[in-house]
């Protein structure tokens, strides 16, 4: 979609009738434990999207063509820092915010952005609280009740599992919410949760909880947590004797877990896979590879789409005003993006397919697509 948009802008080369620059804020985790997982994908894709528009002459809004400037801030994967840098972006006249990528940081930033009537699009945050009750907050990802239900049904129906256990961080909204959605749907589908164990952020030794899980004899162990906790958990689980199949949420795609032998055979839900493509995603993958000499990840594809949605809303409305941008985003019913088809039904949450991947022989491979 964005690549098509750039083609339409080609006639604007030379900044004819140029307007003031459009400043767009990006809040990404460029440092911290998950910086390698989502930060650089966001950084690269944001630059790619904006460079394509500027190289084509800028963004035509109304009868003026505007250069687009990125203002990128590092939230260091800390909620307080995410809020602080968002306030900086407001002072620097950003018209909208892309990010943060993680729910634990996106929730407080969304609260702030909503209070300021500042449009925000998070590429990958999945917790429902990010957008709940808000008019100015949007996302590209599916939400946790959907992916929790997907993985519960997958375990119950595709794998034929009747006994499941869960281990999750009770202090994190993402982990806690996804665990609860999984448990509810698994039991609704006729399965039994034989063990549900918790810990708090920062813990590194999970063997006590895992010993109790071992005694319950589950067939699958659901770990809706963040790396590097996942690595320690799968290693310690095998050490105490758990042989159950591991399953996880979209956070499992944030680390190269396939390099750990304990992950072999595990399944997890993913926001995007380069194996499920449309014309937009094929063009995006090709351009991203040519530019950065690597394959894009889900955070890259979804950041690219977040900017594409914002550009479309601005062009449709023809003015650079918060309420107009909000209306433009809210009125987009279907968007064929790099991360797939997005359908919005009057909320900030799209209907979007989930991808189930499996770790096999050191790689995450496509297993199936689950439609909304």
**pLDDT 10s digits, 180-221:** 999 999 999 999 999 999 999 999 999 999 999 999 999 999
**pLDDT 10s digits, 51-106:** 999 999 999 999 999 999 999 999 999 999 999 999 999 999 999 999 999 999 99
Q: Is 140 exposed, middle or buried (0-12, 13-18, 19+ CB in 10 A)?
A: buried
Say if 43 falls within a structural domain.
yes
Say if 286 falls within a structural domain.
yes
- Name the domain boundary from 212, 245, 270: 270
Kindly state the tokens that stand for 232.
Answer: 């320690």
| CA dihedral sign, ordered 136, 141, 146, 149 | negative
**pLDDT 10s digits, 215-272:** 999 999 999 999 889 999 999 999 999 999 999 999 998 657 778 999 999 999 999 9
Let me know whether 175 and 227 are in one domain. yes
Let me know whether 136 and 42 are in one domain. yes
Let me know whether 300 and 229 are in one domain. no
Let me know whether 137 and 7 are in one domain. yes
Q: Are 343 and 334 in contact (CB under 8 A)?
A: yes
Q: How far, in Å, CA of 80 to CA of 141, rounded?
A: 23
In the chain, what percentage of residues exceed pLDDT 90? 81
Say if 74 falls within a structural domain.
yes
Let me know whether 137 and 150 are in one domain. no
End-to-end CA distance of the chain: 21
Tell whether omega for the bond before 100 is within 30 degrees of 0, i.e. cis.
yes
Let me know whether 112 and 167 are in one domain. no
Instruction: Give the total number of structural domains in the chain.
Output: 2
Let me know whether 96 and 199 are in one domain. no
Let me know whether 164 and 126 are in one domain. no
The alpha carbons of the chain give a radius of gyration, in whole angstroms, of 21
The pLDDT, as a whole number, for residue 35 is: 63
Query: Tell me, what CATH number does 252's domain have?
Result: 3.40.50.2300
Residue-number span of the structural domain to which 80 is assigned: 2-142+274-352
Q: pTM to 2 decimals?
A: 0.89
Let me know whether 71 and 130 are in one domain. yes
Residue 145 sits at the vertex; the CA angle it makes with 86 and 299, to the nearest 5 degrees, is: 45
Residue 299, pLDDT > 90, answer: yes
Let me know whether 264 and 300 are in one domain. no
Which residue's entry shows tokens 């067939």? Answer: 219
Cα–Cα distances in Å, from 285 out to 25, 273, 294, 297?
24, 11, 9, 10
Q: Are 139 and 349 in contact (CB under 8 A)?
A: yes
Q: Which of 296, 274, 178, 189 is nearest to 230 (CA)?
A: 178
Plot region of 293 (φ>0 → left; ψ -120 to 50 → alpha; else → beta)? left
Tell me what the pLDDT averaged over the chain comes to. 92
Say if 358 falls within a structural domain.
no
- Name the domain boundary from 249, 270, 291: 270
The pLDDT, as a whole number, for residue 2 is: 55
Contacts with 352 (C-beta within 8 Å, 6 or more apart), sequence order: 140, 141, 142, 271, 339, 340, 341, 342, 343, 372
């Amino acid at each position: 979609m964005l690549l098509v948009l750039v083609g339409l802008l080609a006639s604007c080369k030379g900044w004819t009738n140029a307007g003031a620059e459009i400043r767009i804020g990006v809040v990404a985790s460029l440092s911290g434990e998950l910086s390698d997982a989502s930060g650089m994908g966001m950084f690269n894709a944001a630059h790619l999207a904006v460079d394509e528009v500027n190289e084509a002459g800028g963004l035509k809004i109304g009868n003026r063509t505007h250069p687009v400037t990125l203002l990128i801030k590092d939230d260091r994967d800390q909620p307080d820092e995410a809020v602080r840098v968002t306030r900086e972006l407001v002072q620097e006249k950003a018209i909208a915010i892309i990010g943060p990528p993680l729910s634990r940081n996106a929730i407080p930033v969304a609260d702030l952005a909503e209070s300021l009537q500042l449009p925000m699009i998070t590429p990958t945050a999945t917790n429902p609280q990010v957008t709940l009750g808000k008019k100015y907050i949007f996302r590209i990802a599916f939400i946790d009740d959907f992916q929790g239900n997907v993985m519960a049904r997958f375990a119950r129906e595709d794998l034929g599992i009747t006994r499941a256990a869960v281990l999750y961080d009770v202090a994190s909204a993402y982990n806690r919410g996804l665990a609860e959605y999984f448990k509810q749907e698994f039991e609704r589908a006729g399965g039994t949760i034989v063990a549900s164990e918790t810990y708090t952020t920062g813990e590194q030794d999970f063997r006590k909880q895992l010993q109790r899980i071992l005694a319950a004899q589950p067939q699958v162990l659901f770990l809706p947590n963040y790396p590097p906790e996942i690595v320690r958990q799968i290693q310690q689980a095998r050490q105490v004797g758990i042989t159950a199949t591991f399953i996880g949420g979209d956070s499992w795609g944030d680390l190269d877990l396939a390099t750990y032998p304990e992950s072999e055979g595990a399944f997890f839900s993913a926001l995007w896979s380069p194996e499920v493509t449309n014309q937009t995603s094929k063009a995006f993958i090709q351009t991203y590879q040519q530019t950065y000499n690597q394959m894009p990840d889900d955070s890259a594809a979804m950041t690219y789409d977040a900017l594409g949605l914002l550009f479309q809303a601005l062009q449709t409305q023809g003015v650079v005003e918060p309420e107009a941008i909000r209306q433009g985003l809210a009125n987009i019913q279907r968007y064929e993006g790099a991360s797939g088809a997005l359908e919005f039904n009057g909320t900030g949450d799209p209907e979007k397919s989930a991808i189930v991947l499996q770790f096999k022989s050191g790689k995450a491979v496509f297993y199936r697509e689950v439609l909304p």
